[in-house]
């Protein structure tokens, strides 16, 4: 027991050395734990390659499973092919009704927001009109300001219409002439414009989804009735629905 108790006194502490100063440009010196991690990763990759090599050698050329035709590869990314048969016409119709309902809700909210907001034009699209003010001499031009000449508040100089005069501003309630209240009104106005832009974008996405569902429903109905497949004119994308050309059938 005494030998075990005193063993740690005679054991030498092994410390791994650091990178010498002359080799600092090569980065930190690799330690044993780094080597083990790198070696383990390399051995795992070797085993994986060996397993794949054995599978390729033992592969049956007549092998077949349905995933070969139900999946595809595009730009190096695997994807699952979705068949129209997986969804019935009633399911597509149900989705179409729900999407159209959500789109109508967004349309009503957009119309309500537009009715609440008076200035619908974006500042960048407004014409930059110039208002020339004339005074008698240069001293008066330096002494007076545009707000004083126009008899209005300096915050209203950027407005091209409905610019209230000082007498009209004085007759307004006290809460409207308060600067913090005006700032809060400006913030709420910006928030309303932001909400309007988001709802317009959401309504546009719902419109594209609705058009895609309508095309899909039409394809499924055509396939169920005549079995003919229309010609694809333009493939669908994230911004538009696919465009098909149906053959002309003479009506009796």
Residue 149 lies in a domain: no
Percent of the chain residues past pLDDT 90, beyond the cut: 17
pTM of the full structure:
0.45
Residue 172 lies in a domain: no
Q: What is the number of domains present in the chain?
A: 1
Residue 133 lies in a domain: no
User: 170: which 2 tokens?
Assistant: 């004085």
Residue 121: its pLDDT value, please? 43
Rounded Cα distance between 58 and 52, Å, is 10
Residue 215 lies in a domain: no
Residue 109 lies in a domain: yes
Where are the alpha helices (H) located in 58-178, listed in sequence order? 67-70, 89-116, 138-143, 146-150, 166-170
Residue 97 lies in a domain: yes
Residue 203: its pLDDT value, please? 92
Composition of the chain by helix, strand, coil, percent to 5: 55, 5, 35
Residue 181 has pLDDT above 60, yes or no: no
Residue 118 has pLDDT above 60, yes or no: no
Q: What is the span of the domain harbouring residue 98? A: 83-116
Rounded Cα distance between 243 and 237, Å, is 11
Give the pairing of strands 71-74 and 77-80: antiparallel
Rounded Cα distance between 155 and 147, Å, is 9
Residue 88 lies in a domain: yes
Residue 178: its pLDDT value, please? 56
Residue 35 lies in a domain: no
Residue 185: its pLDDT value, please? 64
CB of 206 within 8 A of CB of 103? Answer: yes
Q: How far is CA 207 from CA 100, 202, 211, 240, in A?
A: 8, 9, 6, 9
The rounded mean pLDDT for the chain is 79
Q: How far is CA 24 from CA 16, 20, 21, 28, 156, in A?
A: 16, 6, 5, 7, 64
For residues 202 and 176, the model is more confident at: 202
* Band (50; pLDDT cuts 50, 70, 90): very high
Residue 122 has pLDDT above 50, yes or no: no
Residue 119: its pLDDT value, please? 45
CB of 196 within 8 A of CB of 110? Answer: yes
């Amino acid at each position: 027991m005494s030998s075990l108790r005193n063993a740690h006194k005679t054991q030498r502490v092994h410390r791994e050395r650091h990178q010498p100063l002359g080799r600092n440009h090569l980065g930190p010196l690799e330690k044993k734990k780094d080597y083990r991690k790198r070696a383990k990763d390399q051995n795992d990759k070797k085993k994986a390659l060996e397993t794949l090599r054995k599978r390729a050698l033992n592969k049956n050329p007549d092998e077949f499973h349905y995933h070969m035709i139900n999946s595809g590869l595009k730009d190096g990314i695997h994807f699952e092919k979705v068949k129209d048969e997986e969804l019935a016409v009633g399911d597509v119709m149900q989705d179409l009704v729900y999407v159209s309902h959500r789109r109508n809700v967004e349309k009503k909210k957009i119309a309500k927001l537009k009715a609440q907001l008076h200035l619908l034009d974006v500042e960048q699209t407004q014409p930059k009109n110039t208002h020339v003010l004339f005074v008698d001499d240069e001293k008066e031009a330096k002494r007076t300001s545009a707000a004083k000449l126009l008899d209005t508040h300096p915050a209203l100089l950027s407005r091209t219409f409905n610019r209230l005069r000082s007498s009209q501003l004085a007759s307004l309630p006290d809460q409207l002439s308060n600067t913090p209240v005006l700032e809060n009104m400006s913030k709420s106005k910006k928030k309303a414009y932001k909400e309007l832009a988001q709802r317009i974008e959401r309504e546009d996405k719902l419109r594209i989804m609705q058009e895609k569902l309508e095309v899909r429903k039409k394809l499924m109905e055509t396939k169920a009735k005549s079995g003919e497949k229309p010609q694809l004119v333009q493939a669908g994308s994230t911004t538009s629905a696919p465009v098909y050309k149906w053959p002309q059938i003479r009506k009796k």
